[in-house]
Chain A
Amino acid sequence: MSTVSIPAYRSSSREWRERLLFLLLVGPNLILLAAFTFWPMLYNAYLSLISWNFLSPTRRFVGLRNYESVLSSGIFRIVLTNTAIFTIVSVVLTMLLGLGLALLLNRPLRWRDGARAILFTPTVLSGAAIAIVWIYIFDPRFGLLAQILGWFGIGSPAWLSDPNWAMSAIIIVYVWKNLGYAVVIYLAGLQAIDRTLYEAAEIDGAGAWAQFRHVTVPGLSPILFFLLVTSILACFQAFDIIAVMTDGGPVNATNTLVYHLYERGFVQSQAGPAGVVAMVMFVLMLILTVLQLRLVERRVHYS
């Protein structure tokens, strides 16, 4: 139809005008992405190879020495361990609690949509503001949590000033903030599972557990993987809650990769080590993203 209606008089000048229009429409977006997303990655690679304090006019090329010193430093090992603990515990808790809640909510219950909205609310609120509210809640003397623990005869730990408890406090806030997101995603996934599969399983005499094991889990597996990757990536990028609640402390107990990058760059003014941390983060996240893309590709092929 269109090949017939676009006659031969279409001149090459018209074709060039279309190409020009393409460049005009795509150009601004592409230039901004190039300047503030792609260029910074090259810049990070460059920074990671020099010794510079941001102010001095001399930048000394030091090769891979920044990598050596950062990767072998005690603080970096602590930061990596903290990031791993924070990520694994937060992700596992969010995904398990979220799955449990979503399974319980996945039936026609009154107020379910309202509950889903309330559960989702913390996700859209400012992490900085929420962190401040939680500092108050964690207050060992006048805080809400101290009172609730008191009902059970448990004394409140000094959550944020005790290196043994600070990470737990951060994880609690993080799980609280992101649980609703997981529930929403799980519910969408559960509702996408074909109901007739459950009916068939029931006719075959499958109990609740067998139905969960053989219908729900396989049907939910793409969602489980999506949630796993996006949650891990989100944990890697967590900054506001940590910066406001603990400043990475006490004694580095909550210092994670993004916070460490901020610290190296903007507190200690070490361009080289900051570049190294950024490169390490990029590689770790790239691996995760590629894993996710591979999965999306596979799903597209199968469906």
Chain B
Amino acid sequence: MALEQDISIVRTGSGAVASARRMALIWRVLGYLAIMLSVVIIGLPIYWMLIASFKISREIYTAPPSWVPLAPTLENYPNAWNSAPFARYYINSIIVTLATTVSKMTLAVLTAYALVFLRFPGKNTVFLIILAALMVPAQITIVPNFLTMGELGFVNTYWGLILPGAATAFGTFLMRQYFMTLPHEIFEAAEIDGAGHMRRLWEIAVPLAMPALVTTGLFAVVSEWNDFLWPLIITSTDDMRTLPIGVFRLLDQEGFANWGVVMAGTMYVVLPVILLFIWAQRYIVEGIASGAVKG
């Protein structure tokens, strides 16, 4: 009797284990299906851009469209390069992105160091003022900033492109939070050894805060490279335009008449970011994720 009971317990137990295993298997299969489906849906437009950039124009204007270029060609790339001053757009984008990013990283580090390691009456108020800037999105400053640039004579110049994005509240916040986690003993030891603030900043704080600094820099690079609204407003001639504005002009020019060339132009804009993303994917994705979880 007791034995039978034991067996029945074991039986229902193993039955439960088996069904749990079956459920786990079903969830795994669903997981793989979700991976496949979502990767196809998200990847397809990017694939479509890529193959269209290798198609001859006759092939693009046939319905139904082909999924693999029938006569792959590279000629769209030089054609796009020549129908708009892409070399100039690249130079402008690189200058503006680099200058803004370097400025943001430098100012974030300097401000955060001062806020954490220097004594100043009312420095928490200073921090709150900087935080308040997070509540003002760049989009609603466009009209006043355009007028300010007009008064300064910076419309359609690199200064005009760079200055409004040169400061950073977000980066300062990020670096400050990171500096606060660093052990104070290291800095005190350096002070006793006679290291001044600048040496402590560049030789201790910056190297230790590299992960946060890299995250700040990558976010700045991606958002500056892709920025559209401000460069659209502040530039008025081809020699000052950045890539996103340039490819928008290319669409106006070639547009619906020549998709192969336009897709080659969009490849010029997205390819550097895709390469950067492949290289620094971990930093960007982890940075985003950890920022959200820590709040």
Question: Looking across the interface, which residue of chain A has its beta carbon closest to that of B23?
Answer: A208
Q: In the bound complex, what is the Cα–Cα distance between A126 and B108 (angstroms)?
A: 25
Q: Bits for A12-36, please: 1 = Cβ < 8 Å to B, else 0.
A: 0001001101110110111011011
Q: In the bound complex, what is the Cα–Cα distance between A125 and B80 (angstroms)?
A: 19
**Interface residue from A126, A141, A208 paired with B225 (Cβ < 8 Å):** A126
Report chain A residues within 8 Å CB of B240. none
Q: Bits for A171-189, please: 1 = Cβ < 8 Å to B, else 0.
A: 0000010011100110111
A residues 194-213 near B (Cβ < 8 Å) are 208
Q: Bits for B1-36, please: 1 = Cβ < 8 Å to A, else 0.
A: 000000000000000000000010001101110110
Report yes or no: A36 in contact with B259, Cβ–Cβ below 8 A.
Answer: no
Q: Report the stretch among A61-69, A74-82, A83-91, A280-288 that lies at the interface.
A: A280-288
Report chain B residues within 8 Å CB of A104. 27, 30-31, 34-35
Report chain B residues within 8 Å CB of A141. 63
Known: A36-B145, A233-B137, A281-B139. A26 touches B293 (CB 8 A): no
Q: In the bound complex, what is the Cα–Cα distance between A36 and B243 (angstroms)?
A: 23
Report chain A residues within 8 Å CB of B251. 132, 135, 244
**Chain A interface main SS type:** helix
**Interface residue from B62, B140, B228 paired with A261 (Cβ < 8 Å):** B140
Report yes or no: B45 in contact with A134, Cβ–Cβ below 8 A.
Answer: yes
Report chain A residues within 8 Å CB of B61. 142
Q: Say if the beta carbon of A152 comes within 8 Å of chain B.
A: no
Measured CB to CB, the closest approach of chain A to B273, in angstroms, equals: 6
Q: Say if the beta carbon of B164 comes within 8 Å of chain A.
A: yes
Q: How large is the interface on A (under 10, 10 to 19, 20 to 34, 35 or more residues)?
A: 35 or more
Q: In the bound complex, what is the Cα–Cα distance between A181 and B219 (angstroms)?
A: 14
Instruction: Count B-side interface residues using an 8 Å CB cutoff.
Output: 99
Report yes or no: B292 in contact with A32, Cβ–Cβ below 8 A.
Answer: no
Report chain A residues within 8 Å CB of B115. 26
Q: Say if the beta carbon of A111 comes within 8 Å of chain B.
A: yes
Among A132, A139, A184, A265, residue most surrounded by chain B Cβ atoms (within 10 Å): A132
Measured CB to CB, the closest approach of chain B to A209, in angstroms, equals: 12
Q: Say if the beta carbon of B76 comes within 8 Å of chain A.
A: no
Report chain A residues within 8 Å CB of B46. 121-122, 133
Footprint of A on B, CB under 8 Å? Answer: 23, 27-28, 30-32, 34-35, 38-39, 41-46, 48-49, 52, 60-65, 107-108, 110-111, 113-115, 118-121, 123, 126, 129-130, 132-137, 139-148, 163-164, 166-169, 172, 188, 192, 197, 222, 225-226, 228-229, 232-233, 243-245, 247-248, 251, 256, 259, 262-263, 265-266, 269-270, 273-274, 277, 281, 284-285, 288-290, 292-293, 295
